[in-house]
Amino acid sequence: MKILWAPWRIKYILQPKDEGCFLCKAFKEENDAENLVVYRGEKAFVVMNKYPYNNGHLLIAPYRHVPDIVDLHDDEMLEIMALTRLMVKTLRNVLKPDGFNIGLNLGRASGAGLEDHIHFHVVPRWIGDTNFMPVISETKVIPESLADTYRKILEGLKEVIK
């Protein structure tokens, strides 16, 4: 038997599951490092996904707790798209991906894990990042800790925003 060693994951596995919206909690608290908030705009913010598909997987959400794209005000939608562009530029500089998946899931049938607070995903992709591990063993390897990726993104943002 082969063992995949990822000791940082136990913290998330064992922690009590929060009641309520993790996005609302993340932006209301003033502990951005713990909540992995990488950027705060006027109408929306960016947070790292604690259970990423790939390193650098980001969520971009409005501050308002709304479930659907049709509920977004024009200024929220504009800022979400501007933040998406900013994050793509930053991730390109910092992580050097070969491409991106960008999108959102509306409703449970689409795969939304959090249905009540709309959020867009920005997932960096590398050629070959889908390999035998997820296909054969249903296991995804994330090669860098969340804390290290968080620091890289914050530093990269400083360079892009100059």
User: Each residue's pLDDT tens digit in the chain (162 positions)?
Assistant: 555 555 655 665 666 666 788 899 999 998 999 999 999 999 999 999 988 888 999 999 999 999 999 999 999 999 999 999 999 999 999 999 999 999 998 877 777 677 789 999 999 998 877 644 444 445 556 667 888 899 999 999 999 897
- pTM for this one? 0.81
The catalytic position among 57, 117, 119, 121 is: 119
User: Is 19-161 assigned to CATH 3.30.428.10?
Assistant: yes
The Cα–Cα gap between 43 and 86 comes to 15
- Identify whether 121 is a catalytic site residue: no
